[in-house]
Chains A and B, each alone.
Chain A
Amino acid sequence: MLAAIVFYVFAAILVASAAMVIVARNPVHSVLFLILCFFNAAGLFVLMGAEFLAMILVVVYVGAVAVLFLFVVMMLDVDFVKLREGFARYLPVGAAVGLVLAAELVFVLAPWAFSASVPEAISVPIPDPGEIHNTKAIGLVLYTDYAYLFQAAGLVLLVAMVGAIVLTLRDREGVKRQSIARQVARTRGQGVETVSVKSREGVDV
């Protein structure tokens, strides 16, 4: 009974905050609600006994992705009046896109949910949670049966990272950079020069 109450609390907050993400007028509030959303999703994972996935969700999405997201949204200079100006004009287009997506979701989910082979498909690969905990179970499958797919996912991420760096890297002129190696390698002879100056004559440096 307690688990059911906790489930409904998490699920209600999850759905409500997901709605607030698109309803909130201030984009920063939207991102904060998105974070609340992730957090409650992690709570649901814990309820299902998948605590490893829950923690990874918090570490990756809340701890890193959403931070950078919030970072960018805070830097944006958004004019709220201008943002709401075209609301009526864009409404039909937005509604059409939403409808198409919803229809696609129904087409995908409906046969999956009602197909007779689903229970058999689900019940095969899960080991008994009593004898092996989920972190180990994921590791045993991920690095053996799905090793190639895992590597491929890593490669996709690597390509995305290289792409992002290539797109934003530019050589700027006139930037003074610190070269630690050169600073360390400098000797007294290169930096200091002793000059004996004759009185009333001065010296050219």
Chain B
Amino acid sequence: MAEGTFLSMALTGALILGQILLVTVPLLLAVAMLTYAERKVIGAIQLRKGPNVVGPFGLFQPFADALKLLTKETIVPTGANRIVFMMAPMLTLLLSLVAWAVIPFDAGWVIADINVGILYLFAISSLGVYGIIMAGWASNSKYAFLGAMRSAAQMVSYEVSIGFVIITVLLCVGSLNLSDIVNAQKNMWFFIPLFPMFVIFFVSALAETNRSPFDLPEGESEIVAGYFVEYSSMSFAMFFLGEYAAMILMSGMVSILFLGGWLPPFDIAPFNWIPGIVWFALKTALCLFVFLWVRATMPRYRYDQLMRLGWKIFLPFSLFWVVATAGVLMATGWIPR
């Protein structure tokens, strides 16, 4: 009996480990391809070729970059707080990976189908700020610290409107489970009735991942590279990986909350032959393309403008929209029981 339970425990452990690898390895590959896609897309927008030397169409460029970073020396500044300095990039990477545990890639394709999935995602994405603050403080450098301060203020501000957007979606679903959220969009994807919230969520996602036009924490023209000026080699690479994985995660969240996750656009013959994971990947890739497009198009926001947008426009508007959605659902009796 005891032996049997031990065996079953070991089997479950191996199964979970396999699932984790099955998510993490393609994710890291996707991060590599995203850095390549970013350089290609921006190159195309600026009428350049982008990377085209390493491998066919320059496809091996991200691997060459990774190898270069791996072989470089890790430098810890003299005045730095060593432990916190090394912990910060690890934390950033870890947080951007653990969030994938609850993402449903297809009907039933999820590592942990927990009841409070969306809250878990919200919690993990609100923790992302710690990697940045810790890096900024531990580097013992003015530029890094300035970047960290900006980032902390920015991420806390935009989390509020993200929270309201999530509440609006939850009102229409009646569950915190991510699979339920996707299934509730069978008839109509939420970006149609909740279009303004879709826009707010996307813009807030840009701010939450410190992407341009909200990349003040990095701001290479004013504070060099912000919170990771002092990082080199693998510790820098971990920040980079974490940031891009967070971008993919945010795009995945946009597609789950508003674009129907794994559901095909129309539930008719040629569309529902394609497996759900392909639809999910396509929607995520579309959001990622907009991320890159915005980066190549928009100038950087000034700090006071960023705060104004977050607190004076997004917050009142999303608050109003929460009340309006709740009112409409109550009045029409569409509220899910």
Closest Cβ of chain A: how far from B214's Cβ, in Å? 17
A71 touching B119, Cβ below 8 Å: no
Q: Which residue of A lies closest to B2 (CB)?
A: A1
Bound state CA distance, A32 and B135, in angstroms? 13
Interface secondary structure of A, over-half rule: helix
Binds A, one of B19-27, B125-133, B248-256, B323-331: B125-133
- The residue in B123, B130, B133 that gathers the most chain A C-beta atoms within 10 A of its C-beta is B123
B116 touching A55, Cβ below 8 Å: yes
Q: 0/1 per residue, B130-160, Cβ < 8 Å to A?
A: 1001100100000001000100100110010
CB neighbours of B114 from chain A (8 A): 51
Contact of A59 among B84, B123, B149 (CB under 8 A): B123
CB neighbours of A52 from chain B (8 A): 115-116, 119, 176
Cβ of A115 within 8 Å of any chain B Cβ, yes or no, is no
A35-B130, A59-B123 are known contacts. Are A71 and B152 too (CB-CB below 8 A)?
yes
Closest Cβ of chain A: how far from B91's Cβ, in Å? 10
A58 touching B127, Cβ below 8 Å: yes
Cβ of A11 within 8 Å of any chain B Cβ, yes or no, is no
A51-B115, A55-B120, A56-B119 are known contacts. Are A67 and B176 too (CB-CB below 8 A)?
no
A64 touching B134, Cβ below 8 Å: no
Cβ of A22 within 8 Å of any chain B Cβ, yes or no, is no
Cβ of A192 within 8 Å of any chain B Cβ, yes or no, is no
A2-B9, A178-B304 are known contacts. Are A59 and B156 too (CB-CB below 8 A)?
no
Contact of A64 among B120, B159, B308 (CB under 8 A): B159
A–B complex contacts, Cβ < 8 Å, 28 sampled? A28-B84, A29-B84, A32-B84, A32-B134, A51-B114, A51-B115, A51-B116, A56-B119, A58-B126, A59-B123, A59-B126, A62-B126, A63-B123, A63-B159, A64-B156, A64-B159, A67-B130, A67-B133, A67-B152, A67-B155, A68-B156, A70-B152, A71-B133, A74-B133, A74-B137, A74-B145, A135-B115, A135-B116
CB neighbours of A68 from chain B (8 A): 156
Bound state CA distance, A137 and B120, in angstroms? 19
| Chain B interface residues (CB < 8 Å from chain A) | 9, 81, 84, 114-116, 119-120, 122-123, 126-127, 129-130, 133-134, 137, 145, 149, 152, 155-156, 159, 176, 304-305, 308
CB neighbours of B122 from chain A (8 A): 55, 59, 63
Bound state CA distance, A56 and B116, in angstroms? 10
CB neighbours of A25 from chain B (8 A): none
CB neighbours of A59 from chain B (8 A): 119, 122-123, 126
CB neighbours of B155 from chain A (8 A): 67
CB neighbours of A28 from chain B (8 A): 81, 84, 137
Bound state CA distance, A70 and B137, in angstroms? 10
CB neighbours of B133 from chain A (8 A): 67, 70-71, 74
B115 touching A133, Cβ below 8 Å: yes
Q: Which residue of B lies closest to A70 (CB)?
A: B133
CB neighbours of A62 from chain B (8 A): 123, 126-127
Bound state CA distance, A32 and B116, in angstroms? 26
Bound state CA distance, A58 and B119, in angstroms? 10
Closest Cβ of chain A: how far from B323's Cβ, in Å? 15
- The residue in B115, B155, B308 that gathers the most chain A C-beta atoms within 10 A of its C-beta is B115
Closest Cβ of chain B: how far from A25's Cβ, in Å? 12
Closest Cβ of chain B: how far from A60's Cβ, in Å? 9
Bound state CA distance, A67 and B123, in angstroms? 13
